[in-house]
Structures are given as C-alpha cells and as structure tokens.
Amino acid sequence: MKFNSQISNLPIYEAGKPIELVIREFGIEPQNVVKLASNENPLGCSPLALEAMKESIKCANLYPDDSYYELKESLANLYHVSSKNIVIGSGSDQVIEFIMHAKLNPNTAMLSAGVTFAMYEIYAKHIGAKIYKTSSATHNLNQLKEQYLAHKDEIKVIFLCLPNNPLGECLDANDVYEFISSVDSDTIVVIDGAYMEFAKFKDSKKAINPSDIVKLNNSIYLGTFSKAYGLGGMRVGYGIANDQIITAISKLRAPFNITTPSLAAAIAAIKDQAFITQTLENNFKEMKIFEKFATENGIEFIPSYTNFITFKFDTSRDSTQICDNLLRQGIILRNLKSYGLNAIRITIGTSKQNIKVLETLKKEI
C-alpha cells in the first residue's frame, strides 16, 4: 500500500514512558515508580476539577456543549478578552495542527528555534512544508529575524515556545512584542504559552498577555490545562487571537473535540486559582534543590521558567545510559538525545519524589 510521500521519513513522536511500562518490564511495584518525564503536575489537579469530572460522568451518554460557552467565558474573564477570540482544542497541540493546516502547504515554510517542541516540525512534515530553524538551540531573536528575512516569501508560521520545551528558557515579553512587529501581516507568530503560568510567576517580565495578542493582526497565544492545572489526561487546550484568525482556524475544528468530563474539569479548574498558586510555589521551591545538586556535581543546567529543569552533560557522561539505568530502578526521566542533546529533562516533582531521584542520580553520575 502506498502512502503520502511526506510521511515516509516522519518519526513517531516519542512521549514520556508510561508507569505501566516500568511495572511490566522491570517488575517494580507501582508505588515505587517515580515518573518525572512528562511535565505533569505532581500535586494532581484541583479538588474542584475532580468533583466536576465525577459529576459529569452521569451525562456520559450526551455530547458536550459544542459551543464551549462556559469554558470560553471563564477563559475570557481570566484573560480579559472576548469569548469570540477563543478556540478550544484537544490539548494546545491540536490548535497547533489547526494553524498549520490553515497557513501551510508544500510551497511554504515554518520557522522555530533550533531545539523546541517536536510537534511543530512533525505537523509541518504532515503537510510537506519546509522547516527552518535557528542554529542556536534556544530562542535567539536575532537569528530568528535573519532566517525570517532570508526566507520571507516562504515562511508563513513562526513558533515561539515561551517558555521553551524541552530547554526551559524564556524571552522577555517586550522583546517578543518587538519581534512580532517586524513580521508581516501574512505570517502568523504562534506564542506557545503551555508553561506561561510558571514563567510569569517567576518573572513578570516574561509574561505574555493574551489581551495584548488579540490586538495584533498576526499572532496567536496558545494555552493548556495540562501543566499548571494538572489536567494532562483530560486534553484541553485553547488558542486566543483576533477575530479573523479564530474564525479561520475554527473551520478546521471537528465537532465535540473535547469530552464532557474534560470540559467540566477545565471549567472547574479555572475557579481554583489557589491550587495554581500552590502548584507554582511548590515548583520553584523544589527547583532550587535541583539547581543546588547540579552546581555541586559539576552539571550544567539551563535556568528554567517551567515545571522542569534540563541537565546538560559533558562527554564523560551519557544521557541515554543514565536514563536507562534509572529506568531499571523505577525512575522515569526524559532523555533528550532525540533532540541531538546529551541531556536529560526532569519534571519538578514532590519533595519525596525529588529526593529519591537525586539520590539515585548521584550514584549514576
């Protein structure tokens, strides 16, 4: 059977290894497995969201309200925008897919930092579009401008992952807005704010406000309930932009693209901002332990504005071997060799999880 040529060399996205795999392959008891590979919230999710999900199951036979009226109104109030400026996706990565299909074709291109969220490139390859990246792994606005100007006729989508996954760095908002102003009105700049709650909590200069983005004619802000809100398993994301952009990409959304429990959970989660504050405070308190460990053990780390930290190793240490050895001991971390880096990404967990990970890691390095 023949398939479209653009998928012939397309890699399958490698998600973080599930707990079930470790239990199955290494015979480790579930309570002894520590998964800090997928940037999930170690505190779980809001009790309000849990209760809303349980209640919504009673209506499992019914489709959700496809207008997502209440969720959009809640997001609109949170971000001081109009609900008409919001589109809902099954995770923010589905909104990324909408954008790619709305703007790209085999004669166009996307642009991103050298190392960033893998799905940007994968979705571009689905369409057969060209891919341009900076030589810098992190977001270098000078290099992004150079690439954009060199390929201006082709580039129709630019991704800024702020803060950046899987590295953790983040640009200042003023610099981002200045960059956006240099991009023409037919190229869309995607601000992927999956981890923005963490960045703006740590440093207000990093905060990208969706209310500013909707005033622009060439930008969209993406958010998710998977990270700070702890609803990764519910798959709810959103895009916020001006009317024209939202109208266009909404045409690509299938009906009922999130579930009834997902919708109920997201609506309830927004109401519990105290849980978000608890999550953010725990995250940056515990991150200091990882930074101290790295400094004491001669490991380079990237100052992080997210819920994870990236350790980069010299040639005397191998990230694949380290991750494999820890996996056999029930600890799941994210190896970044697939990104061309001798590095590991570690989600910030609970105090108990973090102590166990660092004690085990110490023996392997």
One DSSP character per residue, 130-144 reads EEEE-SSSS--HHHH
Side chain identity at 268, as an amino acid letter? A
Query: Would you say 342 and 319 are in contact if contact means Cβ atoms under 8 Å apart?
Result: yes
Give the chain's domains with CATH numbers.
5-45+274-364 (3.90.1150.10), 47-272 (3.40.640.10)
Torsion of CA 239, 310, 351, 19, to 10 degrees: 70
The reported pLDDT for the residue numbered 9 is: 73
Peptide bond into 166 cis (omega under 30): yes
Side chain identity at 110, as an amino acid letter? M
The reported pLDDT for the residue numbered 18 is: 75
Strand 86-89 to 155-161 pairing: unpaired
Q: Which of 345, 82, 47, 90 is nearest to 225 (CA)?
A: 90
Under 8 Å CB-to-CB from 260, ≥6 apart: which residues? 56, 59, 60, 62, 63, 64
The reported pLDDT for the residue numbered 15 is: 66
In which residue are the tokens 């071997």 written? 321
In which residue are the tokens 């590979």 written? 37
| Distance, CA of 162 to CA of 145 (rounded, Å) | 17
The reported pLDDT for the residue numbered 13 is: 64
Q: Which of 51, 83, 79 is nearest to 65 (CA)?
A: 83
The reported pLDDT for the residue numbered 234 is: 97
Estimate to the nearest angstrom the gap between the alpha carbon of 362 and the chain centroid. Answer: 28
Residue 213, SS3 per DSSP: helix
| Distance, CA of 150 to CA of 145 (rounded, Å) | 8
Helices (H), 84-208: 92-103, 118-127, 141-150, 173-181, 196-202
Give me 296's structure tokens: 């004491």
Side chain identity at 342, as an amino acid letter? N
The reported pLDDT for the residue numbered 127 is: 93
Q: Which of 262, 261, 241 is nearest to 250 (CA)?
A: 241
The reported pLDDT for the residue numbered 16 is: 65
The reported pLDDT for the residue numbered 14 is: 63
* Mean pLDDT, each 10-residue run in order, the chain (365 residues): 75 70 77 92 98 95 95 98 98 97 97 97 94 98 98 98 98 98 97 98 98 98 98 98 97 96 98 98 98 97 97 95 94 95 97 96 91
Q: Which of 362, 29, 72 is nearest to 223 (CA)?
A: 72
